[in-house]
Amino acid sequence: MALVNSSIITASGDVVGTELAGGLALLDLRTGSYFNLNQTGAYVWSQIEGSAKTIGDILGAMTQTYDVSADVLEQDLQTLLTQLSEQGLIAVSA
């Protein structure tokens, strides 16, 4: 599914996370695979963990937190969400 600002992102219920210095480790309970997120990735995960958000909502929160252009944030967010989706760590719906 194509990711657009109105896409709804939900963290998988089969994924648990724990904070690490400078990031977050995720464990996919279905596969036993671990994934590491840097500080920015951890921030994104905190936005969707426990509550579905649109990409636009996440991007809006990020622009308030990070001193980076919205275009750069949007591109990086799209890349991260695509990777998380491909690994089954998030669900994307219209």
Q: At what angle do helices 55-65 and 70-86 cross, to 10 degrees?
A: 130
Q: At what angle do helices 39-48 and 70-86 cross, to 10 degrees?
A: 70
Instruction: Give 72's contacts (C-beta < 8 A, 6+ positions apart).
Output: none
Question: What is the chain's mean pLDDT, rounded?
Answer: 95
pTM of the model: 0.93
Residue 1: its pLDDT value, please? 66
* Nearest of 62, 66, 67, 63 to residue 45 by alpha carbon: 62
**What confidence tens digit (pLDDT) does each residue in 25-66 have?**
999 999 999 999 999 999 999 999 989 999 999 999 999 999
- State the number of CA atoms in the 13 A half-sphere of 85 facing the CB: 17
